Amino acid sequence: MKYLFAIALIGGSCCFPQLSHASINISLNPSNLVPNSTKISFVTGAVDPSGGNSGFLGSIYTNDGTLLQQWETFCVETQEFVELDNRKYLLHSSAANPTTSANNVVGDTAKWIYYQFGHGGLAGWTPNDGEEVQEAIWSQVTKPDSSPLAVANGLALTWVNDAIAAFNTNYAAAKAKADQIRILNPITLDGTHKQSMLYAVPEASTVAVWSILTFLGAGLAYRKRSLS
């Protein structure tokens, strides 16, 4: 038990910044993302308990239906859609490049806003602000004709201005946050592209903790087999 406690401290030592709101899980374990094998489903309203149709709770499953992870996300397309009836889609691809399956370009400022959402850094955010987060992200995503998916207003515009200021003030730091965000492209079982979503690759410390826990789990399983 003392080893697990030490691991928890190692994993959590970087997780106490000054936050504007509580941290929200936006990260997915890369080893769980296997194209044409990993299955995904979405439920809407995950970050907007008032019932607003913004924000999704995504679930990642193995091919046989075992739940692996859940994360909170936002879409980056209005040309494609997902059905919200617990239907499971296949993962087509996930990538660091900024282009979605509908050829929208996701700007670094959109990725920065999503990163801040997950790490408690959107000033003034409340659990009822899912629509504002979606609007802020959409305003920084451009369609093939170069027009944005939305125009930011109010709180959404504040976060867009915060993103621009972050890049102007310390480009390297802001870019490092944006570069942790990836685009996930699901497809139906017959290969039809569905609405692309955002997720984050985990922090290096989180990957290290996952690796240690996996190693310990394998060791405990081996010890159990040896004693039986």
* Residue among 69, 51, 20, 185 nearest 130 (CA): 51
Asked whether residue 110 carries a pLDDT value surpassing 50, the answer given is yes
Binned at pLDDT 50, 70 and 90, residue 23 comes out as confident
Binned at pLDDT 50, 70 and 90, residue 85 comes out as confident
What is the distance, to the nearest Å, from the Cα of residue 87 to the centroid of all Cα atoms in its chain?
Answer: 19
Binned at pLDDT 50, 70 and 90, residue 50 comes out as low
Q: Which domain holds residue 134?
A: 2-227
The structural domain count of the chain equals 1
In tens, the pLDDT along 167-191 reads: 999 999 999 999 999 999 999 989 9
Contact 32, 69 (CB under 8 A): yes
- Hey, how many other C-beta atoms are within 10 angstroms of the C-beta on 46? 19
- Hey, how many other C-beta atoms are within 10 angstroms of the C-beta on 145? 5
**Which residue type is seen at 30?**
P
Identify which has the larger pLDDT, 53 or 186: 186
